[in-house]
Amino acid sequence: MFNPAPGDRALVVAPHPDDESLGLAGTIAKLTGHGVRVDVLAVALTSGPMHGGHSDATTRTREFTDACDVLGVKARTIAWVDDPRAANPAAHLPDLVQLIEAGPVASLATSRPHVLFLPAADAHHQDHQAVHAAGLAAARPALARHRHVPWTVLGYDGPEDRAYLAPKTTRPLIVDTSSHWPAKRKALECYATQLRLAPHPRSLEKIHAQDEAAGAAIGTGLAERFAIYRMAA
């Protein structure tokens, strides 16, 4: 049932610029290569100290733009840059729901996606959990004349999430991304300030190993896994 056709549209909601590439760059590259329009909404970006380094909004915005160009993303935006809400999106859920539902760039209203990608519900980071909850609220069922509702809603994991997942965690949708590792790697390399050295989960080596493990589940080289929250035909 997950078989987007050329001309279909997808929207990726990323808590921060880099989550779209860390979570599903291979799938984005596969979709855009197949003629599917992919838009990306990155929610929050702050400048200041962070784990393993420093976050500079100007640098990270450039990294985001470069990665989106590599992956063939069309509309892309970072909504809250050094905005007070960016420090704690969970404290601003109504604003977050409104942003995903009807923001001016890369939202359900403007992108009108057939497929919506959100962080998975069991993500370890509080910002990812907030974006997941707000995304489900924004995509709640409604009459078409009232607002756009995507037929498919999927959840993606980040590298650290995969390291924490319980062995029986269900990710039933698996997308073969074997042919798209070069694009994924190039997009990830755009985020020089965010990648880490092995054996950190956010290293190129560990991300590749995680994709290999996902590919082994379907007998292919590399893959990305997704949770399913809605899949209608």
Question: Is the residue at 75 inside a domain?
Answer: yes
**What pLDDT is stored for residue 169 in this prediction?**
79
Question: Is the residue at 2 inside a domain?
Answer: no
Phi and psi torsions of 206, nearest 5° = -75, -35
Q: Residue 90 is part of which domain span?
A: 9-231
Q: Which of helix, strand or coil describes residue 71?
A: helix
Tokens describing residue 200:
């950190």
Question: Is the residue at 52 inside a domain?
Answer: yes
Q: Which of helix, strand or coil describes residue 160?
A: helix
**pLDDT digits 0-9 by tens, 86-143:** 999 999 999 999 999 999 999 999 999 999 999 999 999 999 999 999 999 999 999 8
**pLDDT digits 0-9 by tens, 194-214:** 999 999 999 999 999 999 999
Q: How far is CA 22 from CA 14, 98, 217, 219, in A?
A: 10, 25, 20, 22
Q: 84: which DSSP letter?
A: G
Whether the per-residue pLDDT at 64 is higher than 70: the answer is: yes
Q: Could you tell me the CATH number of the domain that includes residue 92?
A: 3.40.50.10320
Whether the per-residue pLDDT at 168 is higher than 70: the answer is: no
Q: Are the C-beta atoms of residues 225 and 171 closer than 8 Å to each other?
A: yes
Whether the per-residue pLDDT at 167 is higher than 70: the answer is: no
Question: Is the residue at 145 inside a domain?
Answer: yes
Whether the per-residue pLDDT at 17 is higher than 90: the answer is: yes
**What pLDDT is stored for residue 170 in this prediction?**
85
Q: Are the C-beta atoms of residues 130 and 95 closer than 8 Å to each other?
A: no
Question: Is the residue at 144 inside a domain?
Answer: yes
d(CA 113, CA 12): 9
Count of domains observed in the chain: 1
**What pLDDT is stored for residue 144 in this prediction?**
82
